[in-house]
Structure 1
Amino acid sequence: MKKLVPDPPRPLRDPELDRANANLLAALKPTQARPFGLRDAQGNALFSVQAGVNAEEALLHVALLLKCAEEVSDEITERASGIERGLIWSMVHSVEMARAVVEALLDRPRPAG
């Protein structure tokens, strides 16, 4: 016999994990201004992390930057040989692990590929 009303879908996310993540992100303070990179003759940095960016948005950006670094490293590894290849692979794995930690904090599924 076929059911007329299907069972409701099971939640894909763990509510307890969502609460823990919300508490973690709420506990983190927004970013502080932080200049970085090369400086001009007067000591002014060209780039700066802006103050007031909430922690979740900052972590999302970090995850994106790590994904980009991972993809660039993968491309470089294909062209390298010898000791360089091993060093680059080590960097690739470090970047992958760092991104996995950030995505786990954000409870974001890791994209395929």
Structure 2
Amino acid sequence: MKKLVPDPPLSNLRRTTAHTHFGACQGAHPPLFTVCEEADIEDALVHLSAALTSAFETNWQLCEMLSRPTADMAWATCQSLEICQALIKALLNRQG
């Protein structure tokens, strides 16, 4: 069956964030922070990239200080952060 009204092209859709709370310390108090609603997705990705870079660098230093087997867990986190950085870079490059 054919649609009477076609879907709009994806390039015309504005991608934005949803209002989301965080920083509640596992329910000990109400959330302290929030992601603003309708922030541009590219701006959000740039901020996320900066936060992940900070986490990656901090974790890298931790990897250098720890001994095995604890260091192995830190290296696993380092690899996960690197995957996240690559995905964000790929998304930002796709936006342009």
TM norm structure 2:
0.76
How many residue pairs align between the two structures? 84
Output the amino acid matched with 2:42: E
3-state SS in 2 of match to 1:48: strand
Give per-residue Cα distances to partners, 1:40-79, cap 9 Å, x unaligned. Answer: 87x5311111112100000111111111110000111111
Show structure 1 runs of 5+ residues with no match. Answer: 1-21, 109-113
What is the root-mean-square deviation of aligned Cα atoms in Å? 2.3
Structure 1 counterpart of 2:93: 107
- Is 1:94 the counterpart of 2:80? The answer is yes
> Aligned runs of 1:46-85 on 2, under 5 Å?
46-85=32-71
Output the amino acid matched with 1:55: I
3-state SS in 1 of match to 2:73: helix
Structure 1: distance between partners of 2:91 and 2:24:
31
Distance change (3 Å), C-alpha of 1:74 and 1:29: same
Show structure 2 runs of 5+ residues with no match. Answer: 1-9
Structure 2 counterpart of 1:11: none
% identical aligned pairs? 29
TM norm structure 1:
0.65
Distance change (3 Å), C-alpha of 1:92 and 1:28: farther
Q: CA deviation at 1:28?
A: 5.6
Write out the 4+ residue segments of structure 1 that deviate beyond 6 Å after TM superposition.
none
